[in-house]
Structure 1
Amino acid sequence: MSTLTAVEKQLHSEPDHRRYTIVLMAILSGLMIWSVSDLSVALDERGMIIARNILTGLVNPDLAFLFSLTNQGVFYLLMETIAIAFLGTILGAFLAVPLAFLSASNIVPKPISGLTRMLLIVIRTIPSLVYGLMLIRVTGPGPFAGVLTIGITSIGMLAKLYVDAIEDLDIKVLESMTSMGCTVFEKIRFGILPQLFSLFLSVMIYRFDMNMREASILGLVGAGGIGAPLIFAMQGYRWSQVGSILIGLVVLILIIETVSNKLRTKLVNG
């Protein structure tokens, strides 16, 4: 009985958050009503016909286009998208390594790490489509512009994750190498990289998984891959071809995600 009394006293001694909850719910409800009232939702008869045609095309894909082995078929376009994502990821991963070490405050002086972090923030701020549009003006439309775009956009995220891993290292190894008279390059090459290799590789595989989706979108601005045929098929109301492309993309991304998850699990646990 005394135990129940103590529990009840503890329960009643807890602060009452009901007023806070009511105010918070009222604010959220007001924001939702304001957001919904600002939307303009209008469905006319023509829009419903287009929606029905889209659904019909998606469930009845163009099988000849889907299984075509020519350079205009879905298989070739998907392979080109994979190549863009893979090469762009490799490029970004290599460029991110020196920037990551220049951003690590436990490796270089803080002024240098601060400036490099600002550079990485700028790189991450600009959307990939903007990079794609700029690089297309330099290199012309095609897969090469896509590879450069994927590489540049990958640098920001990869370098940030690399920095987190570098700064979490046990600095005793670095202190020992410093006492031995090792240079900064020797400390990175022999003291840090062997410890971080598997983690760096795991992060790179994760970024490749993301870059597959980025490469699909970049085709919309002419940077190669399957995005351009997708937007052309949509603009031409060829919904059966749109269905074929989306089926190919879904299957490919599922396969890549499954394989990459298994590889990352082995790298982290192994």
Structure 2
Amino acid sequence: MTDKIRAKLNEQPHRWIFQFGSILLLFVLMLWSTTTLQYKGSSDQMTIVKSIITGIFTPDLEFLFNLTTQGVPYLLLETICIAFLGTVVGAVLAIPISFLSATNLVPYPIAIVGRIFIMAVRTVPVFVYGLMFIRVTGPGAFAGLMTMSVCSIGMVSKMYIESIEDLDIKILESFDACGCTMFQKIRYGILPQLLPDFTSTIIYRFDMNLRDATVLGLVGAGGIGAPLIFAMNAYRWHEVGAILAGLIVLILIVEYISGKIRTKLARG
């Protein structure tokens, strides 16, 4: 019996040959691709790299703890406000759009039109929205808020639709059997099912908007991004280090709080 098993094993294809050949081919291609790299280093470039690293790891503490409108705390607060208000406005506007795009609630043609609209909103990059609103409202925090709101509609609506289409219809049928009104069905049958998913989606989108609001400052849409790019262009690396330190602390705090809220929602 053992000899038969060994004979069958010997008849199996030797896959290690193919795997070894694939790894070898990949290694050769990687080596070949490095032939196009050209390094034009100089002592000046190494000095710039050294100054960047030194500036980032030795931030300007006076700028970091400056409590005026020009300091890091105020700029971070402005960034949080842009991200928060943009998330709230986008989440509220996404509710009717998502209900009109759910195939289990509205006729299929209407749902398709809503989904096409959502897809069109999600297609445009955040930078394009930022430049458009800056042309309309001028540079500032309001342009960032409008950009965050429109960008939030696309993703939040898509997540809302998935939650709405996963509704347990049997619960609503039981409320109909009990003679409940439409308000009671919404209050006790629909909202308890949708609220945890909606809240989790909003928190996740706020995390994304917080990072996007930082980048939007590069085009003048408010927040801490503009001072960051100005400091980099002026080679003030100590200020760059202070801004990055503030951003790291802010992201860690928001991530901790949002994680606690998501855990609470998951456990009920």
TM-score (norm 1): 0.86
- Candidates 127, 130, 155, aligned match of 2:125: 127
User: Could you tell me how far apart the structure 2 residues matched to 1:26 and 1:178 are?
Assistant: 66
Q: List runs of 5+ in structure 2 lacking aligned partners.
A: none
Rate the CA distance shift 1:53–1:162 in 2: closer, same or farther, 3 A: same
1:43 deviation in Å? 2.4
Whether 1:260 aligns to 2:258 is yes
Q: Equivalent residue for 2:149? A: 151
Rate the CA distance shift 1:70–1:199 in 2: closer, same or farther, 3 A: same
Rate the CA distance shift 1:100–1:29 in 2: closer, same or farther, 3 A: farther
Comparing 108-117 with 255-264, greater Cα deviation is found at 108-117
Equivalent pairs: percent with the same residue? Answer: 56
Whether 1:87 aligns to 2:118 is no
1:233 deviation in Å? 0.4
- Candidates 206, 209, 232, aligned match of 1:211: 209
Comparing 187-196 with 47-56, greater Cα deviation is found at 187-196
Q: Encode CA deviations 1:212-261: one digit per residue, 9 max, x unaligned.
A: 11111000000000000000000011000000000000011001101110
Q: Equivalent residue for 2:245? A: 247
Rate the CA distance shift 1:25–1:166 in 2: closer, same or farther, 3 A: farther
User: Could you tell me how far apart the structure 2 residues matched to 1:130 and 1:214 are?
Assistant: 13
Q: Encode CA deviations 1:23-69: one digit per residue, 9 max, x unaligned.
A: 75467557645654555543233221111110111121111000010
Comparing 30-39 with 191-200, greater Cα deviation is found at 30-39
**2:85 is matched by which residue type in structure 1?**
L
1:157 deviation in Å? 1.4
Q: Equivalent residue for 1:72? A: 70
Q: Equivalent residue for 2:112? A: 114
Q: Encode CA deviations 1:95-133: one digit per residue, 9 max, x unaligned.
A: 122222222211222222222122212211211111101
SS in 2 for 1:212: helix
Whether 1:269 aligns to 2:267 is yes
In the alignment of these two chains, the number of paired residues is 268
**2:78 is matched by which residue type in structure 1?**
E
Rate the CA distance shift 1:135–1:13 in 2: closer, same or farther, 3 A: farther
Rate the CA distance shift 1:171–1:69 in 2: closer, same or farther, 3 A: same
Q: Equivalent residue for 2:136? A: 138
TM-score (norm 2): 0.87
Comparing 246-255 with 34-43, greater Cα deviation is found at 34-43
Contact 1:161-1:203 at 8 Å conserved across structures: yes
**2:239 is matched by which residue type in structure 1?**
Q
**1:111 is matched by which residue type in structure 2?**
P
Rate the CA distance shift 1:14–1:57 in 2: closer, same or farther, 3 A: same
User: Could you tell me how far apart the structure 2 residues matched to 1:163 and 1:127 are?
Assistant: 22
1:166 deviation in Å? 1.7
1:21 deviation in Å? 4.0
User: Could you tell me how far apart the structure 2 residues matched to 1:30 and 1:155 are?
Assistant: 46
Rate the CA distance shift 1:105–1:237 in 2: closer, same or farther, 3 A: same
Q: Equivalent residue for 1:223? A: 221
SS in 1 for 2:105: coil
Contact 1:132-1:221 at 8 Å conserved across structures: yes
User: Could you tell me how far apart the structure 2 residues matched to 1:126 and 1:75 are?
Assistant: 31
Rate the CA distance shift 1:111–1:180 in 2: closer, same or farther, 3 A: farther
User: Could you tell me how far apart the structure 1 residues matched to 2:173 and 2:17 are?
Assistant: 54
SS in 1 for 2:171: helix
Q: List runs of 5+ in structure 1 lacking aligned partners.
A: none
- Following superposition, which runs of at least 4 residues in structure 1 exceed 2 angstroms of deviation? 4-46, 173-191
Contact 1:199-1:268 at 8 Å conserved across structures: no
Contact 1:77-1:225 at 8 Å conserved across structures: yes
Q: Encode CA deviations 1:118-161: one digit per residue, 9 max, x unaligned.
A: 22122112111111011100111000111111111111111111
Rate the CA distance shift 1:77–1:16 in 2: closer, same or farther, 3 A: same
User: Could you tell me how far apart the structure 1 residues matched to 2:25 and 2:110 are?
Assistant: 44
